[in-house]
Structure 1
Amino acid sequence: MEFRVYRIPPAVPEFTGRQTELAALRNLLSVATPRPVCVISGPSGIGKSALAVQAAQALARHYPDGRLYVELNGGSSAPATPEEALAAVLRRLGERPPDGLAERAAHYRKALARRRFLIVLDDAQSERQVRPLLPGGGTCGVLITSRSSLPALAGTSPIELGELPPEASIALLGRIVGAGRVARERAAAARIAERCRGLPLALRLAGARLASEPDWPLGLLADRLVDHTPRTGAEPGAEPGAEPGAEPGAEPGAEPGAGPGAGPGAGPGAGPGVEPGAGPGAGPGAGPGVEPGAGPGAGPGAGPGAGPGVELGAGLGAEPGSGARATIGLAWEALDGQSRRALRRMAALGLPDATAWITAALLDATPDDAAGALDRLTRAGLLTAHTPGRHITHDLVRTFVEERADEKTAGDRAAAVTRLLGGWMWLLQRIAPPFRPGVIPLETGRSPGVEVDPSVTDGVLADPYAWFEAEQKSIAGGVRAAAALGQDEIAVQLASALSGSAFVSGDLFDAWNQTHAVALGVARRKGNTLGEATLLTELGRLRGGQSRFDEARACLSQALPLFRATGHLRGELATLADLALSCREQGRFAEALRLPAIAERRAGHDEIGDDTAIAQVKRLIGSIRLEQGDYGTAWQELAQALWLSRTIEDRRGEARTLLAISWYHRARGELDEAGEHASKALAGFIEIGDEPMTAHALRARAKTWLRVGRRGEARRPLEQALEICQAANDRLGAALTLRTLGELDLAEGRLRESRGHLALAVQLTQRLGVPLWRARILRDTAWLQHAFGASDQADALLAEAMEIFHRHGAREYRELSADPLPPGPYSRL
């Protein structure tokens, strides 16, 4: 989930050079129509993103509808998938993303049709990643940055970036450290520019280092710009047990740079990145690539044995980014121990960005100390404040830091993961919606998490959706980090906590699926059967919430024997109920009835003894019997469920049962009772704040009003119900509401509007795999065709509906066999 969508970030203040490329982009992207697709390519650190942002800011007036910035992280270990990026863009545009790549791409293009947006796709990995994000239509401009020129992307205008020329490199340095300082030591500035190889990232890091040392002559930095070749394990001079990078004299486990004499080149016989004794003719302690004959003590500021002027990139040839490696190495050496540890742990955990509280968890420090570390890393140029309060690091910096981790830090990483994921669990449980998905709670013993600073909690509670939108990819990264470290329990716990968080209430289904899949993998590898069962049931609930009932049944069927193997009766009970619900929605009534019978016995087991669960199972049985037309048994089960819910004061259970009783009365034609119970259910759902069920109750009451002729009052509640269903991505609820709107249109003689609503409802139910609901809408459409005078089409639709009713043993088969076209276009369900 490595992406984020922003409005265009601020331009880089010290942006220098690239005037030819900037002018080309302005000319290409300021034309009227068709708008082009431009690709800025070049190696990492060359300034592609900075140029793209500069161009986007300059082009603002040409794109009055706005500019969107999509961070694709193509160079990371987890680049954005096209599905994820499209979902994020659609949310930014205020749209609800549908399921599936093709559906999202179509929705995206429709949302941008006839609008003038500039879309910046930053750090693209491949043509496959960006092709679905091209809006088409010719009204929107697209600006892509990538290491590759994306040659297979047809019709693009390429802009290839190379090194900054010497004059521009020196000018960039001057904008950071001061033009006067550079002018006084122009020759040294030219040496720095040369050793940075015209790489803007390297020049900014060098500038940040000089800005932090105002008394340093520029020549000193030029001499110290030696390449820091990749190494793992302890750095030179580290004592046993010290973290890599610890200086001589540091306490075991102390932070790098903590000991006396720290500084570039410190340590007996070794300069930074120098291996003792390498190179023919090298002086004692000289490193690879040192000029022959370079002896001990040469070079200003070098430690004993460091050679003067070691060539930049020695041992690496022309490796891209080697200019940045030198400046990153110097910035790294200047850091205090706490800042190094923060950056090392961010890299080790693969976090895409960090905030003060995340850094505090990684360091086991106070928020103030963590904020100080972030500030120092930002001033050093190793982090960038990309959005307020959130800091990101360049992939070259991340790679450099990852190379400095070793097995000695594994225990620290594991402890940091536990603190960080525990903090997320704490916050997620604070913003959990009042109602979790599923018929019966699992209750598998979730940890309360690790309490975070109250100021952080207050900020999250003030705007939980904004916090979660910003935090979600870091959370997903944390789950991946825990899984990579084999910490199955904490990975399972956090993934489970997500299932009751804004991942569900905010409809961020993609992220929920990913975190569960990662946690499921580590649970299986570690033999965590209960964790595996829990995650499978929650994945089944996710699929059920998306109305993907085949997938829901597959997950739940896998979870059931695992709960039984662990003896977890509550988990078995909850999974049985969810499985029965999926079977009911697909018209699999025989199977659906067997499952609640088992669930009811489990709910009454002495170990559980849960009247709430018994009431919910009875309501489920009653609803299935109602579908079959077994009204006597349906009433008996629903009446017992209502009595139990009221006895134990389960307000939600009572409201849901009242709604089911409303359906019962409507199916029997008892419309006054149906309306009364629907109104009571609606009041209950509103009182407890259950929006999704509020939509179902609104539809039930409106349908009763339609049946008794109160058509004028029915439309607004149906429109409200549709808005709620669409906001919650409740596709089945939306289909049923569209169907009822179609019935209302037909009753009012609005035949074309009725055809539109019913056609959409048929398409949705076909896609969702809910045959009984599709058959009911086909039956309604048959009545519509009769109204149009198309009797042959009506008969064919009714015959298709009857075949489905007969195959599933639905009550409609018997009712319609006796009276296929009852007076008036109103169905009983």
Structure 2
Amino acid sequence: MSRLRDAAGRAVAGAGASVYVVSGPPGCGKTTLALKAAADLAETFPDGCFVVDLHGVESPMDSGEALLRLLKSLGVTEYRLAQLDASGRAGLLRSLLSSRRCLVVLDNARDEGQVRPLLPAGGRSLVLVTSRRPLSGLEDVDRLALSGLAQAEAVDLLRRILGAQRADAEAGAVAEVAELCGRLPLALRVAGNWLTVRSGWSVDHLVQRLADEERRLGALTAGDVQVEAAFELSYRQLTGQAARMLRLLSVVPSPDMTAAYGAALSGTGVFEAEDVMAELVEAGLLQATFTGRYQLHDLLRLFARARLQEEGVAEREAADERLREWLLDTAMAAGRCFKDGPPSTWQGLVPLASAEQARSWLVSETAAWFAALHGAAARGEHVRVAETAEALDVLCGVWDGWGRWSEVYRLSSEAAAALGDLRREAFHLNNYAWTLGYEGRYREAIDRADQALECARRAGDTAQQAWALIMATSPHKQLGEFQAFLDKSRMAMDLAEDAGDHKNWLVSMQSYRAALRDSGRVEESMALHEPLMALLEAPDSPMSQDMTDHVRARAICGLGRDYAALGRWREAAEHFRSGLLHVQRVGIPYAESSMLLDLAEVLIKLEETEEARSCLLRILSFGETAKSHDVAIAQTILESLPAE
């Protein structure tokens, strides 16, 4: 209303566009808004307010008929109208609207061609056009796209319909009704009317009726007002391709999507899918966002899903399979790209030319591929579930703040168990243990690590045995079980050494050093630094240069922690700075954030506050590429520092 009032003020002053297009999906309140504006703005337009229903969705009015009605309302005589052809009548309407101050509402327009002859070229009148389509072919117009209400607004609308006393008595149920209606004004009005007529029924009773997705649209009926019927009118106007696309999009499990989803579901290219989805946007059945993604309203999703089910179970299952296969294949390719570099033979629907593109896709499409993983697990697609989780293990380490990784590795460890592959089961159980420990579920983490150890022993896999022991160390430490922390670290180190497993020896050595340090045996921890560095610098070291640099940086920082434990702050700071130089050469922000945090805490001890502040701000600058735990601590410390 505020935007339309401003438009009216500019129009009357001759300082703005004289046409405003209000568009949006069925039931979003376009007509209600336009009529409210006409009532509120009547005094601004003293030469008259006129409303023409163009019946654009069904039995559209011919633009010539609309011209005649408007011209007669503006006082043009039958005699003069008889002397003019269609072009002359359109010119006369433009002339009259330009010379007068009128407000015209052209409600429910079908397309640009229907309204073009009815629009002024300028002047001080304002024409409001409502349409399910954005009418993007019209030039020199202002636009307002409507969608659902905010949750608070939706609740307020129901509260106004029901009355404050009744609504407040079941406030929680009212909020649920608003959600189940998708905050769509038409659905909210139908639900409110339904409760008003059935005054003896509770709001919770309506919640129960709407909770059944298959019956929800049918339940949103009050007299001759039906939400489903409003959708049906637009659906019938679609081409066959667009109608099929709408049905297929109903299986997408995420709140929004890209054109690649449409391409995967329809078996076409991305550009072809964009063209078809553009028709759905034009029809007001799909919303295009400013980020280049598309949104399908919850109630429209139910409408489209019902139409898909009408085609039979086989078609729905085929659509599910196409989408699930594409999502998990892309997730695996992105995970491997993030881990090993861009795949040279990738021909998918989304670009994966860099690790950053791979990470971006995995993060932005999390809801969809995670749902697809659940779907694959439910269908017993064990190999696909295990392979997807294996491809994502590096991302798990650097995107640790997601909070659903434990579920990923629960599913994959169950899949590996179902395959009867003990080595694979040990690998996934170890990842499961790591994610549980990160989430603070320490006892569960120890149980899964112990389970992984047993699987690895039965499989004869010493690397996974060592890894299982390492996965249990931090949870033991967090639970105050320091002897178990120390013992399992030492067992992992000895196991890796006996097997000649240099990588796990290095990892377990650093865990063992931390256990010694936490047990007050700092000198023993420091004594292990030299043999660790010797292995890293050996000419026949099997480690890659990047891995060597990373482990060297962590080892140097470990020595810094030893000095910090002894209160030798200056020496600790020097080692943290040295470790940072090594890890910065490799470029691993999540490792750098931990070292910056160590350095900042020591600098605060040395009262070198400004350098400490700089370290903490750098951690925050990493955003999601830093460990979320480090970011949270850095933010807390920053807030405790004295102002600059």
TM-score, normalised via structure 2 length: 0.57
Say whether residues 1:594 and 2:627 are aligned partners: no
Say whether residues 1:562 and 2:467 are aligned partners: no
The question of whether the paired residues in 1 share the 8 Å contact of 2:260 and 2:350 is answered with no
Distance 1:698 1:149 in 2: 46
Q: Spell out the pairing of 1:495-506 with structure 2 (5 A cutoff).
A: 495-501=389-395, 505-506=398-399
SS of structure 2 residue aligned to 1:456: coil
1:341-366 Cα deviation digits (max 9, x unpaired): x6666555756554332333345543
Q: Report what 1:635 is aligned to.
A: 526
- Name the structure where helix makes up a greater proportion of residues: 2
Q: Report what 2:68 is aligned to.
A: none
SS of structure 2 residue aligned to 1:146: helix
Percent identical: 17
How far did 1:378 drift?
Answer: 5.5
1:663-704 Cα deviation digits (max 9, x unpaired): 223334555533321210121233323334334333443454
How far did 1:462 drift?
Answer: 5.6
Q: Report what 1:224 is aligned to.
A: none
How far did 1:576 drift?
Answer: 1.8
More moved, 521-530 vs 199-208: 521-530
CA separation of 1:475/1:706 partners in 2, compared to 1, >3 Å: closer, same or farther?
closer
SS of structure 1 residue aligned to 2:383: helix
Say whether residues 1:199 and 2:226 are aligned partners: yes
Given the alignment, which residue of 333, 351, 356 partners 1:456? 351
Distance 2:533 2:305 in 1: 59
Q: Spell out the pairing of 1:284-295 with structure 2 (5 A cutoff).
A: none
Say whether residues 1:395 and 2:302 are aligned partners: yes
The question of whether the paired residues in 1 share the 8 Å contact of 2:386 and 2:412 is answered with yes
How far did 1:661 drift?
Answer: 0.7
Q: Report what 2:380 is aligned to.
A: 486
Q: Report what 1:426 is aligned to.
A: 333
SS of structure 1 residue aligned to 2:394: coil
Q: Report what 1:302 is aligned to.
A: none
Distance 1:710 1:118 in 2: 49
CA separation of 1:149/1:409 partners in 2, compared to 1, >3 Å: closer, same or farther?
closer
The question of whether the paired residues in 1 share the 8 Å contact of 2:556 and 2:576 is answered with yes
How far did 1:421 drift?
Answer: 1.0
SS of structure 2 residue aligned to 1:629: coil
CA separation of 1:505/1:520 partners in 2, compared to 1, >3 Å: closer, same or farther?
same
CA separation of 1:345/1:645 partners in 2, compared to 1, >3 Å: closer, same or farther?
farther
Say whether residues 1:656 and 2:560 are aligned partners: no
SS of structure 1 residue aligned to 2:351: helix
1:536-560 Cα deviation digits (max 9, x unpaired): 3323322333455344334333333
1:476-505 Cα deviation digits (max 9, x unpaired): 22112212322122123324444433x664
1:317-374 Cα deviation digits (max 9, x unpaired): xxxxxxxxxxxxxxxxx625x974x666655575655433233334554333444554
Q: Which amino acid aligns with 1:12?
A: G
Given the alignment, which residue of 587, 591, 600 partners 1:693? 591
Q: Which amino acid aligns with 2:311?
A: R
Given the alignment, which residue of 450, 474, 477 partners 1:584? 477
CA separation of 1:684/1:577 partners in 2, compared to 1, >3 Å: closer, same or farther?
same
How far did 1:617 drift?
Answer: 1.6
1:189-235 Cα deviation digits (max 9, x unpaired): xxxxx9x954355334424534x5xxxxxxxxxxxxxxxxxxxxxxx
How far did 1:415 drift?
Answer: 6.0
Given the alignment, which residue of 201, 204, 209 partners 2:236? 209
Distance 1:69 1:719 in 2: 41
The question of whether the paired residues in 2 share the 8 Å contact of 1:703 and 1:740 is answered with no
Q: Spell out the pairing of 1:691-770 with structure 2 (5 A cutoff).
A: 691-705=589-603, 709-713=606-610, 715-717=612-614, 719-720=616-617, 723=620, 728=626, 730-731=628-629
Distance 1:516 1:593 in 2: 26
Q: Which amino acid aligns with 2:463?
A: R
CA separation of 1:715/1:423 partners in 2, compared to 1, >3 Å: closer, same or farther?
closer
The question of whether the paired residues in 2 share the 8 Å contact of 1:121 and 1:145 is answered with yes
Q: Report what 2:505 is aligned to.
A: 614
SS of structure 1 residue aligned to 2:311: coil
Given the alignment, which residue of 392, 403, 406 partners 1:510? 403
Q: Report what 1:244 is aligned to.
A: none
CA separation of 1:431/1:496 partners in 2, compared to 1, >3 Å: closer, same or farther?
same
CA separation of 1:452/1:504 partners in 2, compared to 1, >3 Å: closer, same or farther?
farther
Q: Report what 2:431 is aligned to.
A: 538
CA separation of 1:487/1:208 partners in 2, compared to 1, >3 Å: closer, same or farther?
same
Q: Report what 1:238 is aligned to.
A: none
Distance 2:234 2:553 in 1: 65
Q: Which amino acid aligns with 2:563?
A: H
The question of whether the paired residues in 1 share the 8 Å contact of 2:449 and 2:472 is answered with yes
The question of whether the paired residues in 1 share the 8 Å contact of 2:351 and 2:357 is answered with no
Q: Report what 1:335 is aligned to.
A: 240
Q: Spell out the pairing of 1:89-100 with structure 2 (5 A cutoff).
A: none
Distance 2:414 2:601 in 1: 46
The question of whether the paired residues in 1 share the 8 Å contact of 2:247 and 2:307 is answered with no
Say whether residues 1:146 and 2:179 are aligned partners: yes
Q: Which amino acid aligns with 1:145?
A: A
How far did 1:569 drift?
Answer: 3.5
How far did 1:449 drift?
Answer: 12
Q: Report what 1:360 is aligned to.
A: 263
Q: Which amino acid aligns with 1:399?
A: A
The question of whether the paired residues in 2 share the 8 Å contact of 1:424 and 1:494 is answered with yes
CA separation of 1:625/1:485 partners in 2, compared to 1, >3 Å: closer, same or farther?
same
Distance 2:224 2:410 in 1: 43
CA separation of 1:679/1:497 partners in 2, compared to 1, >3 Å: closer, same or farther?
same
Distance 2:280 2:343 in 1: 32
1:398-443 Cα deviation digits (max 9, x unpaired): 1331353435885785465334311122124435699xxxxxxxxx
Distance 2:631 2:637 in 1: 10
CA separation of 1:726/1:734 partners in 2, compared to 1, >3 Å: closer, same or farther?
farther
More moved, 391-400 vs 710-719: 710-719
CA separation of 1:547/1:420 partners in 2, compared to 1, >3 Å: closer, same or farther?
closer
Distance 1:406 1:596 in 2: 54
CA separation of 1:625/1:688 partners in 2, compared to 1, >3 Å: closer, same or farther?
same
Distance 1:741 1:204 in 2: 52
How far did 1:652 drift?
Answer: 0.7
Given the alignment, which residue of 455, 471, 483 partners 2:365? 471
Q: Which amino acid aligns with 2:595?
A: A
Say whether residues 1:162 and 2:207 are aligned partners: no
The question of whether the paired residues in 2 share the 8 Å contact of 1:492 and 1:523 is answered with yes
Distance 1:468 1:701 in 2: 32
Q: Which amino acid aligns with 1:680?
A: S
Q: Spell out the pairing of 1:28-177 with structure 2 (5 A cutoff).
A: 145-147=178-180, 160-162=188-190
Q: Which amino acid aligns with 2:294?
A: R
SS of structure 2 residue aligned to 1:693: helix
Q: Which runs of 5+ in 2 are unaligned?
A: 1-21, 41-130, 132-145, 156-174, 194-220
CA separation of 1:719/1:146 partners in 2, compared to 1, >3 Å: closer, same or farther?
closer
The question of whether the paired residues in 2 share the 8 Å contact of 1:345 and 1:362 is answered with yes
CA separation of 1:492/1:448 partners in 2, compared to 1, >3 Å: closer, same or farther?
farther
How far did 1:654 drift?
Answer: 0.4
Distance 1:159 1:207 in 2: 16
How far did 1:655 drift?
Answer: 0.4
SS of structure 1 residue aligned to 2:190: coil
Distance 2:326 2:537 in 1: 42
Given the alignment, which residue of 620, 623, 626 partners 2:517? 626
1:592-648 Cα deviation digits (max 9, x unpaired): 222233323443465xx4323222221221221122232443123222222223444
SS of structure 1 residue aligned to 2:178: strand
How far did 1:660 drift?
Answer: 0.6
